[in-house]
Structure 1
Amino acid sequence: MKISYPFIILLILFNLSAKAQWKLVWSDEFSVDGKPDPNTWKAEKGFVRNHEEQWYQAENAFCIDGMLIIEARREEVKNPNFVAGNKNWKEERSSAHYTSASLITQGMQSFKYGRFEMKAKIDTRAGMWPAFWTLGNEGEWPENGEIDIMEYYRGTILANAVWGSMEKWKGIWSTIKKPISEFNDPEWSNKFHVWRMDWDEKSIKLYVDDFLMNSIDLEKTYNAKEPHKNPFRQPHYILVGMAIGGDNGEDPSKTEFPARYEIDYVRVYQK
């Protein structure tokens, strides 16, 4: 089929017009060396979730040369919450053998709908579990809603959303997985990529490098126990972090450390 020159011009103008609808409402370009902006990010501390191996601490996140670096290290940190004989996973270990960082905007920056975008390079070696995700401001997990714009472990990129089921602390998931080998690029792990969420009152669409990973119909995401509540029709805050091991991660014992999750920017656009 022959495509006319005027048609190509119209198509370009249409795409430019569609992009122009989005206005930047917040971003962090990480342009100031040192600690991440304390007016935007707070660091999680300790053993937090998913039976992960790392101890989260603020020292493992820093900005340099226009990048946010989240650095995982093999080092021992004593667990001040250790209780001998306790079966709680956060208290039964006397120490952690890895450290990393998880930064969240909870209580400082949250958004309802928009285009959320991150440009980053992730470490894809064994044991790494980097993520760029959101949680709803109101409600207990998973009734507050979780959106995994980017999650990686075991050689696979994931794009997920989860909301409340009839069981406590058990979610209903919409999950799409794509092995990085399917990108047919042996240098994929050495490059920066752009992860994006387009979110409105009707749907959530999750992309990597403009490839649509997952599309979620929000008419299907009401919490089972509270069918009048949809966790994706409330503001969400942002999380970026790199876990080690845990429920889904691989054994990191043979991986050389430090490991780095390098983030060029995080941006939010709205119409």
Structure 2
Amino acid sequence: MKALSIFQGRWARLVVATGMGWLLQTTPAQAQCTQLVWQDEFDTPGDLSKWQVYEGDGCETGNCNFGNAELQVYRPGNATVTGGVLNIATRYENTVVGGRTYNYTSAKLYSKQASGALQTFKYGRIEARMKLPSAQGVWPAFWMLADPGNWPTTGEIDIMEAKHKNPTSVSGTIHYDAGGWRYSGRDYTSAVDLSQAFHVYAVEWSPEKIQWFVDGVLFNTASPNTTVGGSWPFNDNNFYIILNAAVGGPGTGFTGYQNPTPPTFPPPPK
């Protein structure tokens, strides 16, 4: 099993797992796209050389809490690689950044750096095998932004977002501009708790459409025919991959309105 791969046709594969974090491993390639163009198997302990591991709270770009009223600060130490797995740990701990106090820490990784190094992609299958976290308020996401980007004009592809404790559903969404910010998405509902085992989350992205899959089951399709005014910025730029686990508070639309009380975590292992 490989951890993160991108195939051309083009396709990418990614795997993430967690009890309180995420783990990346890979899955078998799909038949339509067989040319491997990029992967990270996380088979060297501590090696995150293919990623930019972000540190901060977004305030350095004037976008504190990333515009979502998120409660976490991101720390490189919360992303670890061991045993063929990338783990993104979300912790309840006080951290002060720029005079601002946060009660939660987590991790966020980009497949590109601000300098433009590392990797960006256009079209293909982008796939991850993930075991989702199980904690109230934790907001794991596997997504992509354009490079260069000017959100929402250049678009956003959300391959997987989860918003529930013991999650049984995930969302697949695009964001774009059509006389203002627009988005279109759909939920996948599972018969099982997605935090109890690994599952495969993927998009197949072509010039004409984007399709979302969970364990090979198609649950959403977007195209210029499904967006407002036919807006479709997804042919204009390469995109890079983002992995993160945010913590949503009462003011966070994705988790807070569903879970207005503070996030809770299971006790750490003995």
TM-score, length basis structure 2: 0.74
Letter of the 2:247 counterpart: I
The Cα of 1:45 is off from its aligned counterpart by 2.0
Question: More displaced, 244-253 or 51-60?
Answer: 244-253
Please tell me whether residue 124 in structure 1 is matched to residue 134 in structure 2: yes
Number of residue equivalences: 218
CA contact (8 A) 1:145 1:232 kept: no
Provide Cα deviations, 1:91-121, integer angstroms capped at 9, x if missing partner. Answer: xxx3000100000012221111011111111
Is 1:54–1:100's contact at 8 Å kept on the other side of the alignment? yes
Question: What is the CA-CA distance between 1:122 and the residue it aligns to?
Answer: 0.7
SS of corresponding position for 1:255: coil
Judging by fraction of residues, say which structure has more helix: 1
8 A contact 1:163–1:223 mirrored in 2: no
In the other structure, the counterpart of 2:171 is: 158
Alignment equivalent of 1:66, drawn from 63, 76, 84: 84
The whole-number CA distance in structure 1 between the counterparts of 2:55 and 2:228 is: 31
In structure 2, distance between residues paired with 1:130 and 1:24: 26
Alignment of 1:65-214 (within 5 A): 65-80=83-98, 82=99, 94-106=100-112, 107=116, 108-154=118-164, 155=167, 156-167=169-180, 171-179=181-189, 183-185=190-192, 187-214=193-220
- Contact 1:193/1:209 (<8 A) preserved: yes
After TM superposition, list the pairs within 5 Å mapping 1:25-64 onto structure 2. Answer: 25-37=37-49, 40-48=50-58, 49=66, 50-64=68-82
Task: Find the aligned partners of 1:218 and 1:76 in 2 and give their Cα distance.
Answer: 45
Measured in 2, the distance between the counterparts of 1:110 and 1:223 equals 27
* Alignment gaps of 5+ in structure 1: 1-17, 83-93, 260-271
Q: Which residue of 2 aligns with 1:13?
A: none
Work out whether residues 178 and 228 of structure 2, in 8 Å CA contact, stay in contact via their aligned partners in 1: no
> What is the identity percentage for the equivalent residue pairs of Structure 1 and Structure 2?
32
Q: Map Cα deviations across residues 162-181 of structure 1 (whole Å, 9 max, x no partner).
A: 101323xxx211110234xx
Q: How far is the alpha carbon of 1:212 from its aligned partner?
A: 1.1
Following the alignment from structure 2 to structure 1, what is the Cα–Cα distance between the partners of residues 233 and 32? 29
Q: Which has the higher contact order (CA 8 A, sep 6+)?
A: 1
What SS does the aligned partner of 1:59 have?
helix
Q: Structure 2: where are the runs of 5+ without partners? A: 1-29, 59-65
Q: Is the 8 A contact 2:207 2:234 kept in 1?
A: no
Quick one: distance in 2 between partners of 1:115 and 1:257?
A: 37
Q: Distance in 1 between matches of 2:248 and 2:32?
A: 41
Q: Report the CA distance between 1:147 and its aligned residue.
A: 0.5
Q: Post-superposition shift, 1:218?
A: 3.4
Q: Secondary structure at the match of 2:195?
A: helix
CA distance in 2 between counterparts of 1:148 and 1:24 reads: 22
Q: Structure 1 length normalisation: TM-score?
A: 0.74
Of structures 1 and 2, the larger Rg is shown by 1
Residues 247, 263 of structure 2: 8 Å contact kept: no
Q: Given the superposition, is the C-alpha separation of residues 252 and 210 from structure 1 closer, same or farther in structure 2, using an over 3 Å criterion?
A: farther
CA contact (8 A) 1:165 1:172 kept: yes
Name the CA distance, whole Å, in 1 between partners of 2:236 and 2:220.
18
Q: Determine if contact 1:72/1:242 at 8 Å carries over to the other structure.
A: yes
User: What's the CA shift string for 1:5-36, capped at 9, x where partnerless?
Assistant: xxxxxxxxxxxxx8154311111111110141
Distance 1:153 1:258 in 2: 21
Q: Given the alignment of the two structures, is residue 237 of structure 1 paired with residue 240 of structure 2, yes or no?
A: yes
CA-CA distance at 1:139 after TM superposition: 3.2
Stretches (4+) displaced over 6 A: none
Across the aligned residues of Structure 1 and Structure 2, the Cα RMSD in angstroms comes to: 2.3
Q: Residue type matched to 1:36 in 2?
A: L
Contact kept, 8 Å, 1:124 with 1:152, in 2: the verdict is: no
